[in-house]
Amino acid sequence: MKGPRCALAFALFAFTPALAVDLIVHNARIVTLDQAQPFAQALAIDHERIASIGADADVLALAGGGTRMIDAGGRTIIPGLIDSHIHAIRAGLTFAQEASFEGARTIGEAMERLRMAGARDGGDSWIVVGGGWTAQQFAEDRRPTGAEIEAAAPGRRVYVQAFYRAAFLSLAAQQTLGVDAENPPPGTIFERDDNGASTGWLTGDVAAITALWERLPKPGLQEAMSSTRVFFARLNAYGVTGVIDPGGHNLARSDYAALFALWRQRELNLRVAFFVSAQTKGAERADFERDLRFAPMGFGDRWLRFNGIGERVTFGMYNNDKPDAADIAAFEDIAHWAARSGLAMTVHWNNQRSIGPLLDLFARVGRKFDLASLRWSVAHIHDAEPETLARLHQLGLGWLTQNAPYFAAPAFIRSMSASRRALVPAISSALEMGMKVGAGTDATRVMSYNPFIALQWLVDGRTIDGQETRAQNQRPSREEALRLWTQGGAWFAFAESERGTLSRGMLADFAVLTDDYFSVPTGQIGSIGSWLTVVGGRVVHASP
């Protein structure tokens, strides 16, 4: 059968309901974020999409002999969370082999984790804590001392990173790398105690700490794949069904191999939209043109998608508060090329005081191109003034905001006036003007990967040590915050027609929560997890 008759037959087949759906989740409180149907009790899944959503009786009528049934026990269901700025690819490479201070409340608890890591690996490999912690989380309100770390992992090669400002190297690690207090790694200085002896902690700028990480051993492909599986499963356990990875430090092109291998083998359990960063200082545009020749914008599928260039577009405009004319010209050249090529772009920017040249640059590019259609974004700028956000919005750019102030606030806001602290960050102002905003964590070097800690911080503005960083009028409601983590992320991933809400025809990406996000006390939002996580109709996480 050919021609119109064939097309008609195919259309009828495509829209004929299945005799029975694959999966039904019922007896739930479903928050759809769909204005046409805000709440429901049950949903049915046929293949990877939502076939029906509504009252229990209506949805249960679709069940057949082969339908899998899950009683949610009255629990809350939300659309799958999408972290719009997380270094998931880099974190996945070594996550399973690292120790973690995530959630440790005392230094003693953190040191016990080092001891456990040492006992687990047999004694010869490195023990690494890659970040995601702050001294303020400990009751002692300080970093662990070198003596405490050496006692927890005697004779071991230990590396502990604290943001991008400091790192610890045990004596064994120093010997392996050929450094000591008199010969520190380039760009760093070893701290000394009152007696002048090295503590093992060293400080340096972002470039120096980044270069130090590069000297640590790299995993092989199979090890990296296994570790990535573990990290993605951990994200699933928090209801995360998608991530947007911005590229960045310590992520060479070869480091994408594990992710692509899992994709080819159809083993991904969350959806990944990824950016690529410039690799060679002074040859950034040549890097992009070479590497992207066979990877057009949108290359991939619903599980893995090339999302554009960033967060390091050029070295000269990356973590540089005072770019010169040459730095600006190099960035602008790539921005024009990216716009002509139809590429999305995300830009790492630290602060309000230095953003003027970037805004002016975007204004010049915007005279020739419709930046809104390209979905360009600026990440971070936690202290952005509402006027800056308004200008970005007028230029057609979106904003990716993360909860780094939750950890870093003591240093970040120490010199700020009360009026400035009230706008860190000015989230409600951005939403009121209609700006496109996505929320995320910037994990794992800077922040925890737990999205509910980020959601709690969005709602209450309080740091890990209880400081307030935002006035009440800059704190979104719980629903607004959730939309930033669902619809916001979906928009920046070019997937808003398939993800971010729960309605008929959308991809079946959702989480059944352990506690009701909308009713638990605000201070307990961060302890919520996922009871059941489904991606594309497939259960990827289930609690015991």
At 38-48, the pLDDT tens digits run 999 999 999 99
Residue 125 and residue 34 share a domain: no
CA-CA distance, 493 to 297, in Å (whole number)?
Answer: 11
The string of pLDDT tens digits covering residues 194-209 is 999 999 999 999 999 9
* 534 falls within a domain: no
- Domain stops at, among 17, 46, 74: 74
Peptide bond into 311 cis (omega under 30): yes
Peptide bond into 186 cis (omega under 30): no
Domain limits at 426?
241-256+274-500
CA-CA distance, 475 to 246, in Å (whole number)?
Answer: 26
CA-CA distance, 171 to 180, in Å (whole number)?
Answer: 8
Amino acid at 368: K
* 101 falls within a domain: yes
* 103 falls within a domain: yes
Residue 162 and residue 21 share a domain: no
Residue 50 and residue 101 share a domain: no
- Beta-strand runs (E) in 9-138: 23-26, 29-31, 39-40, 42-46, 49-54, 68-71, 76-79, 81-83, 127-129
| pLDDT at residue 411, rounded to an integer | 67
Domain with residue 329: its CATH number is 3.20.20.140
Q: What is each CA distance from 15 to 7, 24, 380, in whole angstroms?
A: 13, 20, 44
Strands of the sheet with 29-31, listed across from one edge: 39-40, 29-31, 76-79, 510-513, 530-535, 538-542
* 198 falls within a domain: yes
Residue 296 and residue 153 share a domain: no
Residue 167 and residue 45 share a domain: no
Residue 310 and residue 424 share a domain: yes
pLDDT 10s per residue in the chain (544 long)? Answer: 444 444 444 444 444 444 689 999 999 999 999 999 999 999 999 999 999 999 999 999 999 999 999 999 999 999 999 999 999 999 999 999 999 999 999 999 999 999 999 988 777 899 999 999 999 999 999 999 999 999 999 999 999 999 999 999 999 999 999 999 999 999 999 999 999 999 999 999 999 999 999 999 999 999 999 999 999 999 999 999 999 999 999 999 999 999 999 999 999 999 999 999 999 999 999 999 999 988 899 999 999 999 999 999 999 999 999 999 999 999 999 999 999 999 999 999 999 999 999 999 999 999 999 999 999 999 999 999 999 999 999 999 999 999 988 987 666 777 788 888 889 899 999 999 999 999 999 999 999 999 999 999 999 999 898 888 889 999 999 999 999 999 999 999 999 999 999 999 999 999 999 999 999 999 999 999 999 999 999 999 999 8
End-to-end CA distance of the chain: 51
Domain with residue 60: its CATH number is 2.30.40.10
- Domain stops at, among 21, 40, 74: 74
Residue appearing with tokens 């706008």: 423
Residue 327 and residue 192 share a domain: no
* 189 falls within a domain: yes
With beta carbons less than 8 A apart as the criterion, state whether 486 and 500 touch: yes
* 34 falls within a domain: yes
- Which two tokens mark 449? 């990967």
* 56 falls within a domain: yes
With beta carbons less than 8 A apart as the criterion, state whether 84 and 495 touch: no
- Domain stops at, among 465, 483, 500: 500
Residue 489 and residue 396 share a domain: yes
| pLDDT at residue 253, rounded to an integer | 94
Rounded to 5 degrees, what are φ and ψ at 179?
Answer: -130, 160
CA-CA distance, 245 to 298, in Å (whole number)?
Answer: 14
**pTM of the entire predicted model:** 0.94
Residue 442 and residue 298 share a domain: yes
Q: What percent of the chain lies above the pLDDT cut of 70?
A: 96
Residue 366 and residue 318 share a domain: yes
Structurally, the chain folds into a number of domains equal to 3
With beta carbons less than 8 A apart as the criterion, state whether 307 and 493 touch: yes
The string of pLDDT tens digits covering residues 356-369 is 999 999 999 999 99
Residue 93 and residue 208 share a domain: yes
* 81 falls within a domain: no
Residue 282 and residue 356 share a domain: yes
